[in-house]
């Protein structure tokens, strides 16, 4: 009896591999999957996989441009179930973007319902919207799929077939542009004018040696659906040669005259980068410029944009400096912006940064490939038709013999054998002549099948004439298709004719102007330097008034406010908080006006957070830098810091380092103070010389000023000058601070009952 072989030891079955190698291979596989299958467009049809699958699914569902709209949810669900199993949100987003004519140079989807707006409003849920193909998408991308023009591949579960690329007849990558973020790379391609792109393609086909500079005579630059002005024309050649660069774009502004000599500045076109939420941000930026006193020429702002186009109106003062205001808006807002170009696409199965000429080259080669496949398919069909037509014509000449064969045969197989091979055995003929003629028949299989399936009415004279005419047309088609396939010039004529048709039907005027503009120069009006009085109430609301107003209301101002001090309007003030932060505030950011004008929270004009911080000390920065500040914390940590430490450009810096749970309770500018008195919550008092507190940097924690009992903490800090008699009220008794015993720093102090 044979014995079974011994099983291998487990050690021999384990495959040992370096972990880093597995991680590297897995990451590369993942990255390439994202790059090729998700994020980057194909140079041939200019579509990402999700866009291609969505359009193909709509075509398969019969949602054509001349058919009724269908629910977007149906399109999304069918696409996800058949071709793109990566979630409905990505499919619906692709559908929405392809329908937005303010994002695409040529919309590919005809949306019905709320598909979002140029101002950033999102599309309605897919259950509420409907869509169908645009005519250009149907005719220019999907019309020849039945002619074997592109390869098909199995879908994710191998239950359906999907095209690897759509047979796009126009350079969609240039016309509609594209954007996408992959792993370690990004594509950002601007849209262009269809008519100009067609002209450039035709010029390349007529002269393959044409340069990028010569191509730019036909495509001078991008053509954004939002219009605007490209201002760096001289840099475009390098961008189109390398595929990388920055395009500077700005909006268009018009000045409209009103009654009484007033003017209004109307923005009618915006940079492509501003579409969406950036329009609202642009309006907020203008408001911020007004609040910051950068301009006083604007009286009112209104956004009157509609489906007809952009219209943002700025009402101006009568004596407004319009040119300076235009420069201000271009310099300080997104009305002038840059569009980063990175013409990256999948070419020959790998990502490649392409120049303008390269994109056109790939497009032309693709057109020649799909037209070759198309006309080869058509030629084969015409050749089959020719074969059958010739058989039917020949049959009409011997129709009596064929009828005799059919009547004399016992079955269809016998009749077919006679027609194709001349086999007459078993067939009853009326005469030997008929039999001899039948033996000479040599129809092909297809011809014999057509003869056997032919109906009697085809024998009518007019039908025979129609057959002869069809045969002539078939021969003409065959000659034409062979000429196209064998003669490159004939092929190019076909491609150019198709491009001309698209240009004639879908071409439009250029929207974006292209110029070389000078750098914007904005001269800010010099602010007249003056002293103001800054007032902060106990709720943290801040405002400023001129000195005359303050003197007139001095008593009320001092009574109602926690901090009142003089500052220069062109300077800054320092706000020190209990958390150890120092916030710098420009005095110009503080509301200036009348005494009873509305104040604003400090939070609104600085990084100060009233929920977590409280103000300990405030002073103008020009005064702070000339002083030495004493810092005292709740846990009795102390230090002196030169004010120059706080002369920084940042809006917020740490003024001191503190331990967990500690907070500042006092910051005092040191002038002629000689002694410090610390008072704890439990009634301990410690008096010592201020010179015992060392000078430290702002990033230091300081030294301990007093030994605290467990659970005790500092409550008050007092400073005494030489010869000063200072007393305080404590527990209903008067305490003369000058009579307290002078001790050393970092001792327990004396407890007062």
How does DSSP assign 522-542, residue by residue? --PPPPPP-EEEEEEETTSEE
Asked if 615 contacts 602 with a C-beta cutoff of 8 angstroms, the reply is: yes
State how beta strands 344-347 and 350-353 pair. Answer: antiparallel
Specify whether the CB–CB gap between 591 and 598 falls below 8 A: yes
Q: In a 3-state reduction of DSSP, which class is residue 130?
A: strand
Tokens of 521: 């120069």
309's tokens:
């186009």
CA dist 247 and 238 (Å) reads: 11
- d(CA 352, CA 167) in angstroms, rounded, equals 21
Measured CA to CA, the distance from residue 115 to residue 64 in angstroms comes to 19
Assess whether 128 carries a catalytic annotation: yes
DSSP class of residue 638?
Answer: E
- Sheet order of strands, 263-269 included: 252-257, 263-269, 312-316, 298-303
Strand partners, 254: 266
Helix (DSSP H) and strand (DSSP E) numbers for the chain:
23, 35
Which of 59, 65, 92, 128 is flagged as catalytic?
A: 128
The full DSSP string for 102-124 is: TT-SS--EEEES----TTSPPPP
Count other Cβ atoms within 10 Å, centred on residue 272.
23
Burial state string for 731-740 with b = 16 or more CB within 10 A and e = fewer than 16: eeeebebeeb
Under 8 Å between Cβ of 76 and 126: yes
> What are 161's strand-pairing partners?
154
Write the CA distances from 132 to 53, 123, 212, integer angstroms.
14, 16, 37
* DSSP code for 35: I
Active site positions, annotated: 128
């Amino acid at each position: 009896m044979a014995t079974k072989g011994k099983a291998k030891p487990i050690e021999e079955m384990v495959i040992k591999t370096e972990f880093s190698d597995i991680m590297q291979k897995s990451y590369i596989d993942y990255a390439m999957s994202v790059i090729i299958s998700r994020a980057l467009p194909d140079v041939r049809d200019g579509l990402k996989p999700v866009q291609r699958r969505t359009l193909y699914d709509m075509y398969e569902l019969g949602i054509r441009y001349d058919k009724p709209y269908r629910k977007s949810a149906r399109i999304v669900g069918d696409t996800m179930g058949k071709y793109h199993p990566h979630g409905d949100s990505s499919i619906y987003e692709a559908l929405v973007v392809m329908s937005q004519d303010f994002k695409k140079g040529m919309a590919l989807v005809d949306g019905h319902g709320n598909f979002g707006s140029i101002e950033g409003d999102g599309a309605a849920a897919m259950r509420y919207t409907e869509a169908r193909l645009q005519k250009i998408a149907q005719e220019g991308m999907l019309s020849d799929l039945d002619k074997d023009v592109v390869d098909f591949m199995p879908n994710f579960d191998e239950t359906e077939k999907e095209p690897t690329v759509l047979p796009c007849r126009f350079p969609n990558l240039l016309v509609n542009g594209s954007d996408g973020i992959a792993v370690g790379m990004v594509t950002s391609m601007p849209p262009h004018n269809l008519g100009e792109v067609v002209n450039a393609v035709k010029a390349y086909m007529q002269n393959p040696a044409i340069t990028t500079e010569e191509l730019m005579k036909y495509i001078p630059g991008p053509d954004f659906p939002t219009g605007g002005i490209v201002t760096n024309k001289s840099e475009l050649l390098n961008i189109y040669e390398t595929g990388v660069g920055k395009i500077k774009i700005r909006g268009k502004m018009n000045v409209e005259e009103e009654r009484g000599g007033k003017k209004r500045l109307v923005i009618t076109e915006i940079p492509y980068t501003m579409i969406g939420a950036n329009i609202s941000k642009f309006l907020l930026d203008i408001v911020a410029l007004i609040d910051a006193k950068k301009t006083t020429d604007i009286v009112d702002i209104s956004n009157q944009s509609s489906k007809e186009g952009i219209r943002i109106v700025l009402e101006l003062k009568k004596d407004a400096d319009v040119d300076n205001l235009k420069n201000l808006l271009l310099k300080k807002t997104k009305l002038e912006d840059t569009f980063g170009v990175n013409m990256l696409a999948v070419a020959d199965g790998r990502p490649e940064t392409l120049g303008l000429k390269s994109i056109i080259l790939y497009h032309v080669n693709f057109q020649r490939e799909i037209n070759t496949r198309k006309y080869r398919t058509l030629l084969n069909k015409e050749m089959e038709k020719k074969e059958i037509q010739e058989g039917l014509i020949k049959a009409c000449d011997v129709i009596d013999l064929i009828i005799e064969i059919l009547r004399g045969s016992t079955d269809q197989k016998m009749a077919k054998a006679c027609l194709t091979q001349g086999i007459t055995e078993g067939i009853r003929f009326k005469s030997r002549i008929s039999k001899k003629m039948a033996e000479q028949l040599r129809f092909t299989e297809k011809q014999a099948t057509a003869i056997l399936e032919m109906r009697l009415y085809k024998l009518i004279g007019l039908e025979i004439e129609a057959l002869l005419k069809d045969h002539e047309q078939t021969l003409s088609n065959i000659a034409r298709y062979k000429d196209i396939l064998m003669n490159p010039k004939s092929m190019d004529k076909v491609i150019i004719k198709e491009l001309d048709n698209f240009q004639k039907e879908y071409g439009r005027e250029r929207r974006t102007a292209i110029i070389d503009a000078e750098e914007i120069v904005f001269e800010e009006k010099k602010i007249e330097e003056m002293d103001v009085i800054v007032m902060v109430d106990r709720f943290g609301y801040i405002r400023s008034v001129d000195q005359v107003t303050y003197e007139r209301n001095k008593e009320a101002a001092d009574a109602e406010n926690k901090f009142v001090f003089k500052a220069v309007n062109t300077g800054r003030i320092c706000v020190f908080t209990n958390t150890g932060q120092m916030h710098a505030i420009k005095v110009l950011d503080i509301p200036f006006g009348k005494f009873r004008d509305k104040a604003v929270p400090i939070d609104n004009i600085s990084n100060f957070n009233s929920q977590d911080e409280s103000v300990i000390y405030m002073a103008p920065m020009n005064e702070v830098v000339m002083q030495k500040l004493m810092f005292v914390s709740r846990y009795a940590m102390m230090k002196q810091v030169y004010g120059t430490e706080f002369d920084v450009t940042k809006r917020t810096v740490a003024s001191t380092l503190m331990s967990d749970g500690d907070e500042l309770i006092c910051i005092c500018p040191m002038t002629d103070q000689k002694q410090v008195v610390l008072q704890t919550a439990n009634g301990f008092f410690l008096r010592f010389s201020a010179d015992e507190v060392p000078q430290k940097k702002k990033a230091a924690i300081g030294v301990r000023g007093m030994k605290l009992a467990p659970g005790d903490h500092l409550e008050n800090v007092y400073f005494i000058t030489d010869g000063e008699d200072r007393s305080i009220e404590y527990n209903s008794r008067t305490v003369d601070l000058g009579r307290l015993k002078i001790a050393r720093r970092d001792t327990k102090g004396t407890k007062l009952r």
